[in-house]
C-alpha cells in the first residue's frame, strides 16, 4: 500500500516543484544576461541622464514607457530611437521590477514590484519639475498604469498629461490563465518559444507564481474598470489595440473604454483605435520574423500619432 | 440531419408530455463565471414519469450580465440562451446528483461602433454537474459547476466567453 501512495504522490510532488533548465549563456532567465538598464540607467531613464533639467527641458514632453510581462526595455527601444530622431520629446524606458534579471528574481516578484519602477521614475520626474509627463504601457504595462489612475497615485505629484495603452491586457486571449490558481501548482511554469531576435530579451520561463500575479493584476483591473475609474478631463487617454491578438484579448479595449470616465464630463470618452494587426504589441517589430509593410506602417502611424498628441 | 434528430427528440418530449404528467420547475438562476461576471436570469426544468422515470430533465435558461454585474457596473452586456439535458442520479432521494450537457447562444453588445469588428456571438456547448436538493416545501435548489467547451479568443468567439462557471438555481416546483 505504501508503494501505491508513493507512486501516486511522487509525480504530483515532482510536477508541483519543477525547476526549468536554464542556459545561462543564451537565456535572460540565467545569471549572465541582464537588461542593460540595470548597469547603464543613464542610457534608459530620463531622471538619470537629465539630472538637473533646464526650464526648456522641464517643458519638453517626457514619456515613461513601461513594457509587458516577461519583457524588457527592448520592447520600447524602437520608440526611443524614434524620439531621439525627432528630438521633440524624451522617452524614459523603465524596467519593471523582477524583470530583466534572473528566473529566481522573476519568480519572487509581485505585480506591485513590477509597478514600482514606473512609480519611482514618475516621482523623480515630477520632483525634478518636468511639467508634461506622459505614460505608455504595452500589454501588462497598461494595467500597471491603469492601477496608478485608480489608486490615486498621481494626486501628490504633477498630473500626467496623457496615457497611451498599447495592446493592453485586461482579459487574456488564452482563457486557461483564469484557471492558474488550480493548474499552476501542478504545472510549475510554462515556457515560450522566442525568435532568434528575441532571445535574451524576454524570459523564456513563466513561473506559475508570476502567472498568478498577472491574473491577480488583470482581474483587479477589470473590477476597478467595472466600478469606474474617474479621472480629470485634462488627462488624455488613448488605447491602440490589435484586432487580432493571441495574448491580450481585444475585448480588453472595450473594458477600458467603458471603465475610464471623466470627472464632471459623463459623456466624454477615451480614444480607442482598433488596429488592423495580428501582432501583440504591434509597436515592437525588432526581433520579429515575417514583418510586413502593413506592420511597419501600423507602427509608424502609432508613433506619429503619439508624437503629435504629445507635442501639439 | 443532426438538427432534425434533435428537433424530433424535442417534439417527442413535448408530445409525450401532453399525453402524460409533466413535472415543471421554474425560477431564478444566479450564475458566476470564474474571473468574470455575475450573469443572472430565469429558467425552467421539465421531466416526465414516462421518460426515464423523471431522471432525464430538459432545461431552458436565460442568464445575462444585464441582470447581474452590468446592472450596477460597467460590465459588458451579454446574454446566454441555453437549452440542455441533464440526468438525475438518486432521483428518488431529496438530494440528487445531476450531470448534463447544454447548448445555446451567447450574444454580446459592445455598445459602440468602435468595436464592430469584434465577434459578438457564439454557439454555446457546455458540460455541467452538481447537486440538486428537493425541499419539503415546493422548492428545489441546485448548485452546479460547468465548463464551456467553446471559450473566447476575441477573434472568432467573443473574448468574454470564459470556460468555468458556477450556478445556483432556485426553482418552484409547480407540478
Residue A207 lies in a domain: yes
Residue B8 lies in a domain: no
Residue A4 lies in a domain: no
**Nearest Cβ partner of B114 from A176, A178, A272?**
A272
Residue B93 lies in a domain: yes
Residue A268 lies in a domain: yes
Number of other CB atoms surrounding residue B15 within 10 Å? 10
Residue B156 lies in a domain: yes
Mutate to test the interface with A, among B33, B70, B159 (most CBs of A within 10 A): B159
**For A5-46, how does the pLDDT look when each residue is reduced to its tens digit (9 = 90+)?**
444 444 444 445 578 999 999 999 999 999 999 999 999 999
Number of domains present in the structure of chain B: 1
Phi, psi of B148 (to 5 degrees): -85, 115
Q: Which helix or strand (DSSP H or E) is residue A302 part of? A: helix A293-311
DSSP B44: E
Number of domains present in the structure of chain A: 1
Residue B12 lies in a domain: no
Q: At what angle do helices A208-227 and A180-187 cross, to 10 degrees?
A: 170
Domain CATH number, residue A252: 3.40.50.1820
Q: Which helix or strand (DSSP H or E) is residue A298 part of? A: helix A293-311
**Which residues of A are less than 8 Å from B111 in CB distance?**
258
pTM: 0.92
Q: What is the pLDDT along chain B (175 residues), one digit of tens a residue?
A: 555 555 555 555 555 555 468 999 999 999 999 999 999 999 999 999 888 988 999 999 999 999 999 999 999 999 999 999 999 999 889 999 999 999 999 999 999 999 999 999 999 999 999 999 999 999 999 999 999 999 999 999 999 999 999 999 999 999 6
Mutate to test the interface with A, among B78, B154, B164 (most CBs of A within 10 A): B154
Domain limits for position B108: 23-174
Taking an 8 Å cut-off on Cβ atoms, the answer to whether B74 and A227 are in contact is yes
Domain CATH number, residue B93: 2.40.160.20
Quick check: helix, strand or coil at residue A264? coil
Return d(Cα B101, Cα B84) in angstroms, integer: 6
Return d(Cα A148, Cα A119) in angstroms, integer: 8
Residue B3 lies in a domain: no
Domain limits for position A38: 12-311
Nearest Cα of chain A lies from the Cα of B84 at a distance, in angstroms, of 24
Taking an 8 Å cut-off on Cβ atoms, the answer to whether B76 and A250 are in contact is no
**For B79-125, how does the pLDDT look when each residue is reduced to its tens digit (9 = 90+)?**
999 999 999 999 889 999 999 999 999 999 999 999 999 999 999 99
The CA distances from residue B132 to A146, A232, B31, B52, in Å, are 42, 50, 15, 18
**Which residues of B are less than 8 Å from A254 in CB distance?**
76, 110, 112, 115, 118
DSSP A82: H
Return d(Cα B65, Cα A230) in angstroms, integer: 23
Closest by alpha carbon to A71, among A287, A302, A304?
A287
Return d(Cα A283, Cα A167) in angstroms, integer: 9
Q: Which residues contact A302 (CB under 8 A, 6 or more apart)?
A: A166, A240, A275, A282, A283
Residue B53 lies in a domain: yes
- For chains A and B, count residue pairs whose Cβ atoms are closer than 8 Å: 77
**Which residues of A are less than 8 Å from B121 in CB distance?**
none
Residue B2 lies in a domain: no
Residue pair A18/A188 in contact (Cβ under 8 Å)? The answer is yes
Residue B101 lies in a domain: yes
Amino acid at each position: 500500500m505504501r508503494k501505491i501512495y508513493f507512486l501516486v504522490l511522487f509525480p504530483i510532488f515532482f510536477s508541483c516543484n519543477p525547476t526549468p533548465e536554464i542556459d545561462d549563456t543564451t537565456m535572460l532567465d540565467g545569471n549572465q544576461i541582464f537588461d542593460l538598464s540595470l548597469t547603464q540607467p543613464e542610457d534608459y531613464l530620463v531622471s538619470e541622464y537629465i539630472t538637473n533639467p533646464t526650464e526648456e527641458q522641464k517643458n519638453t514632453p517626457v514619456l515613461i514607457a513601461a513594457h509587458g510581462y516577461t519583457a524588457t526595455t527592448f520592447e520600447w527601444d524602437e520608440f526611443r530611437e524614434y524620439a531621439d530622431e525627432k528630438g521633440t520629446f524624451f522617452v524614459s524606458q523603465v524596467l519593471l521590477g523582477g524583470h530583466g534579471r534572473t528566473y529566481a528574481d522573476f519568480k519572487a516578484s509581485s505585480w506591485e514590484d513590477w509597478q514600482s519602477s514606473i512609480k519611482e521614475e514618475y516621482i523623480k520626474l515630477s520632483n525634478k519639475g518636468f511639467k508634461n509627463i506622459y505614460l505608455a504601457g504595452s500589454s501588462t504595462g497598461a494595467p500597471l498604469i491603469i492601477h496608478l489612475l485608480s489608486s490615486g497615485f498621481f494626486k501628490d505629484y504633477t498630473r500626467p498629461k496623457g496615457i497611451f495603452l498599447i495592446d493592453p491586457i485586461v482579459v487574456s486571449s488564452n482563457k486557461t490563465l483564469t484557471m492558474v490558481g488550480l493548474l499552476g501548482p501542478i504545472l510549475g511554469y510554462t515556457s515560450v518559444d522566442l525568435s532568434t531576435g528575441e532571445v535574451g530579451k524576454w524570459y523564456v520561463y513563466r513561473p506559475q507564481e508570476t502567472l498568478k500575479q498577472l491574473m491577480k493584476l488583470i482581474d483587479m483591473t477589470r473590477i476597478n474598470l467595472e466600478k469606474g475609474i474617474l479621472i480629470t478631463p485634462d488627462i488624455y487617454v488613448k488605447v491602440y489595440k490589435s484586432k487580432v491578438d493571441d495574448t491580450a484579448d481585444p475585448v480588453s479595449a472595450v473594458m477600458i473604454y467603458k471603465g475610464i470616465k471623466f470627472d464632471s464630463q459623463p459623456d466624454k470618452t477615451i480614444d480607442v483605435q482598433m488596429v488592423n494587426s495580428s501582432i501583440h504589441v504591434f509597436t515592437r517589430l525588432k526581433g520579429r520574423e515575417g514583418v510586413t509593410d502593413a506592420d511597419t506602417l501600423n507602427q509608424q502611424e502609432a508613433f506619429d500619432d503619439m508624437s503629435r498628441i504629445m507635442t501639439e | 440531419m443532426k438538427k432534425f434528430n434533435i428537433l424530433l427528440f424535442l417534439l417527442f418530449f413535448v408530445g409525450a408530455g401532453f399525453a402524460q404528467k409533466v413535472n415543471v420547475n421554474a425560477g431564478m438562476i444566479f450564475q458566476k463565471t470564474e474571473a468574470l461576471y455575475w450573469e443572472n436570469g430565469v429558467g425552467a426544468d421539465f421531466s416526465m414519469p414516462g421518460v426515464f422515470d423523471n431522471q432525464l430533465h430538459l432545461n431552458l435558461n436565460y442568464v445575462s450580465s444585464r441582470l447581474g454585474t452590468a446592472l450596477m457596473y460597467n460590465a459588458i452586456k451579454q446574454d446566454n440562451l441555453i437549452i440542455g439535458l441533464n440526468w438525475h442520479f438518486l432521483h428518488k432521494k431529496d438530494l440528487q446528483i445531476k450531470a448534463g450537457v447544454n447548448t445555446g447562444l451567447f450574444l454580446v453588445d459592445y455598445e459602440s461602433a468602435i468595436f464592430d469588428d469584434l465577434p459578438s456571438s457564439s454557439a454555446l456547448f457546455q458540460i455541467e454537474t452538481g447537486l440538486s436538493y428537493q425541499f419539503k416545501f415546493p422548492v428545489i435548489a441546485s448548485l452546479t459547476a460547468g465548463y464551456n467547451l467553446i471559450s473566447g479568443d476575441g477573434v472568432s468567439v467573443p473574448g468574454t466567453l470564459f470556460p468555468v462557471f458556477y450556478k445556483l438555481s432556485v426553482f418552484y416546483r409547480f407540478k
